[in-house]
Amino acid sequence: MSTRAGAAPVAIVMGSRSDWPTLKSAAAMLDALDVAYEARVVSAHRTPDRLVSFAKGAQAAGVKVIIAGAGGAAHLPGMVASMTSLPVLGVPVQSRALSGLDSLLSIVQMPGGVPVGTLAIGEAGAKNAGLMAASILALSDAELMARLEAWRAGQTASVAESVED
């Protein structure tokens, strides 16, 4: 998966390569805000040892925020959250069988004490996960906060009030 140069305060993990078309919206948002990230496949079910290694090592590796996306029986975000105190943002990927409702419920219904900040199903959720990761990092990075506010101002300016050209 893609890796940007330099330190990567954001880790984007996903259960399968098939999730990348969704999770790349998070990556695109981070690119737009000039936030470094590393993206990789970590499957809760197919690569459990990789999951444990990633989740237990993320903080020491310099990761500040984790974006975790998965579909179906989407245990990845919750399992990551069980092994780290870093903020974990969960993105439910739209599944074939149940259109992502299964993914959403799998991710959002965490027991009290093990939080996953759950976003919307699909690309909107991934985009917002990128924005929210940037917001968290911006709390201690004034330049990033300025870029984030500029991006939001641009979005506001792009919304026409009239219904016709």
Binding residues vs ligand RP5 (CB under 6 A): 15-16, 18-19, 43, 45, 70-72, 93
Residue type, 108: V
The first and second tokens of residue 158, run together, are 């792009």
Distances (CA, A) of 77 to 11, 21, 90, 141, 147: 12, 18, 5, 26, 28
Residue type, 162: S
- 70 vs 116 by CB, closer to ligand RP5: 70
- 41 vs 145 by CB, closer to ligand RP5: 41
First to last CA, the chain: 41
Q: Is residue 19 a known part of a binding site?
A: yes
Residue 123 Cβ, how far from ligand RP5 at the closest point, in Å?
A: 14
- 58 vs 68 by CB, closer to ligand RP5: 68
Report the binding-site residues.
16, 19, 46
Report the binding-site residues for substrate.
16, 19, 46
